[in-house]
């Protein structure tokens, strides 16, 4: 593997650590805020008016970053009716087509997420009064991470491994 491949792996390892820390912290924050919101509403009759908006925004980030992390650790859900065919001799080129199609779709979604982020620049959320892009930015960030993880899996293990699940045997 060349220097570019090693740099890709180092970048992916670094982002994986940040992803994991973020996912744990976001999950803990959501749980804590939900408990605090319930206590404030029912024990003190003083609801956290900003709490639900913040929880939804944080949950959005948790879901999208979690999806990228799931691809990285091969814990994603895959429904595959014809994947077994790709293991047969003469059909392995389909793995490359699958990776190319998946990458193209992810890149198109990334572009749409970036366009959305530009379009909503300046729009404020109602309760927190922060820019909506702080919440909607989860999509392009997660898709960029997803492309990084796909590139690493492709470089290290080849096309057949990119969208394979954790329990699949790769030949």
Round to whole Å and give the CA distance between 101 and 69.
Answer: 20
Domain definitions of the chain by residue range: 3-162
Considering just the CA atoms, what is the radius of gyration of the chain in Å? 20
Give whole-number Cα distances, 53 to 3, 9, 27, 159, in Å.
44, 36, 15, 40
What integer pLDDT is reported at residue 92 of this predicted model?
A: 77
Of all residues in the chain, what percent carry a pLDDT higher than 70?
89
The 3-state DSSP composition of the chain as helix, strand, coil percent (nearest 5) reads 70, 0, 25
Of all residues in the chain, what percent carry a pLDDT higher than 90?
73
Round to whole Å and give the CA distance between 46 and 129.
Answer: 20
What integer pLDDT is reported at residue 74 of this predicted model?
A: 83
What integer pLDDT is reported at residue 84 of this predicted model?
A: 63
What integer pLDDT is reported at residue 4 of this predicted model?
A: 92
For 121-153, the pLDDT digits (tens) are 999 999 999 999 999 999 999 999 999 999 999
Q: How many CB atoms lie within 10 A of CB 62?
A: 19
Contacts of 157 (CB under 8 A, 6+ apart): 170
């Amino acid at each position: 593997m060349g220097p570019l491949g090693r740099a890709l792996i180092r970048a992916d390892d670094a982002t994986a650590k940040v992803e994991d820390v973020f996912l744990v912290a976001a999950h803990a924050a959501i749980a804590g805020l939900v408990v605090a919101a319930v206590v404030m509403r029912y024990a003190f009759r003083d609801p956290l008016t900003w709490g639900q908006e913040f929880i939804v925004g944080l949950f959005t980030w948790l879901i999208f970053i979690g999806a990228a992390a799931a691809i990285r650790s091969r814990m994603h859900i895959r429904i595959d009716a014809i994947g077994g065919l790709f293991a047969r001799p003469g059909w392995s080129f389909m793995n490359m087509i699958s990776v190319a199609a998946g990458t193209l779709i992810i890149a198109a979604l990334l572009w749409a997420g970036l366009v959305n982020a530009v379009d909503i620049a300046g729009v404020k959320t109602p309760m927190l009064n922060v820019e909506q892009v702080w919440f909607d930015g989860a999509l392009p960030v997660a898709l960029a991470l997803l492309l990084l993880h796909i590139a690493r899996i492709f470089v290290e293990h080849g096309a057949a491994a990119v969208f394979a699940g954790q329990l699949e045997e790769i030949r």
